[in-house]
Amino acid sequence: MSSSTVCRIDSTGPQMSLMGKLNGPWHKYSLWLYTAVVLAHWGEHLAQTAQIYLLHWPIPESRGVLGLWVPWLVKSELLHYAYALVMLVAFWGLRTGFVGRSHTWWMIAFWIQFWHHIEHALLQGQAVFHHNLFGAPVPMSILQLVIPRVELHLFYNTAVTIPMVIAMFYHMFPTPGEESHHNCSCSWHRRPAVAV
Amino acid sequence: MNTVRSVISVFLLVLLGLSAAGWVWAGGQPSPKLEGARTMLALCGLMAVGAMAILWRAKDEVPAE
């Protein structure tokens, strides 16, 4: 067996940093958890758009699934900002586990999420200071001047999720050259791990 | 590989379908932001199609023994 095709999983001993573990032996589980959180968030967005576009509910009453029972969840700018920040931190924290094509796509998702997070920070700032931009009755992000909020954030989430999904797909199915640089067990065709 | 990209494609098709439904819905709204809404929905649909093209064109390169 060529050494270039061996998937290396470093020791999980105490000498390994948290970032090393997150991007090494824990990478697969971190990505599973992250994907579950992202899909739960998407479930809310898809439910909301289905309520508006298919069921023709009024927009203020289209609050996804959890928002029907807990309306403040949808209205809380703090919650939206916190989610955007968690995504940004996760993108950054899990980036070194990706190599080759998957790293390129992961970083595209990161930079789009960076702008998405700026927009949510702007909304959160208006909510904190009780002063809305452009004299609007509700907090407004920059692009909301020309695009309704529902469609704008559907677009933002799509623009972040698609490169993220492509990155994960390439990470699961790497070329042999990329796999030789993996320190995790994410590859679908992973060779038996050897400790180094 | 086909299982994984099939699961992802289901999500992308739902997104594509909702974007198309949104396009139709937006056309009936008296919103001054109609063009902005439709532009975003069109981009969502195009990204979903583009992602499916990338996923289904990928080759499964199983490492040599």
Q: Tally the domains of chain A.
A: 1
User: To probe the interface with A, which of B33, B35, B43 has the most A CB atoms within 10 Å?
Assistant: B33
Q: Which residue has the higher pLDDT, A125 or B50?
A: B50
Average pLDDT over residues B44-58: 96
- Asked whether the predicted pLDDT for residue A3 surpasses 50, the reply is no
Closest by Cβ to B18, choosing from A50, A155, A189: A50
pLDDT score at A1: 38
pLDDT band at residue A38 under the 50/70/90 scheme:
very high
- Nearest chain A Cα distance for residue B49, angstroms: 10
Query: What are the boundaries of each domain within chain B?
Result: 2-57
A43: helix, strand or coil: helix
Residue of chain A whose Cα is closest to the Cα of B44? A155
Instruction: List pLDDT tens digits, range A134-166.
Output: 878 888 888 888 899 999 999 999 999 999 999
Instruction: List pLDDT tens digits, range A4-31.
Output: 444 455 545 567 899 999 999 999 999 9
Q: Is residue A151 part of a domain?
A: yes
ipTM over 0.85: yes
In chain A, how long is the greatest CA-to-CA distance? 67
- Asked whether the predicted pLDDT for residue A34 surpasses 90, the reply is yes
Residues A166, A172, A174, CA angle at the centre, nearest 5°? Answer: 90
Residues 13-52 of chain B with CB under 8 A from chain A are 14-15, 18-19, 21-22, 24-26, 31, 33, 35-37, 39-41, 43-44, 47-48, 50-51
Instruction: List pLDDT tens digits, range A180-196.
Output: 788 888 988 765 544 44
> For residues A153 and A43, what is the distance between their CA atoms, to the nearest angstrom?
14
Instruction: List pLDDT tens digits, range A86-116.
Output: 999 999 999 999 999 999 999 999 999 999 9
Instruction: List pLDDT tens digits, range A44-85.
Output: 999 999 999 999 999 988 999 888 888 888 888 888 999 999
pLDDT band at residue B24 under the 50/70/90 scheme:
very high
- Asked whether the predicted pLDDT for residue A121 surpasses 70, the reply is yes
- Asked whether the predicted pLDDT for residue B26 surpasses 60, the reply is yes
- Nearest chain B Cα distance for residue A148, angstroms: 6
- Nearest chain A Cα distance for residue B46, angstroms: 10
Domain containing A125: what range? 37-178
- Nearest chain A Cα distance for residue B23, angstroms: 9
Element (H, E) at B51: helix B34-57
Q: In a 10 Å sphere around its CB, with 0-12 CB exposed, 13-18 middle and 19+ buried, how is residue A158 labelled?
A: buried
User: To probe the interface with B, which of A53, A112, A134 has the most B CB atoms within 10 Å?
Assistant: A53
A111/B contact by beta carbon, under 8 A = no
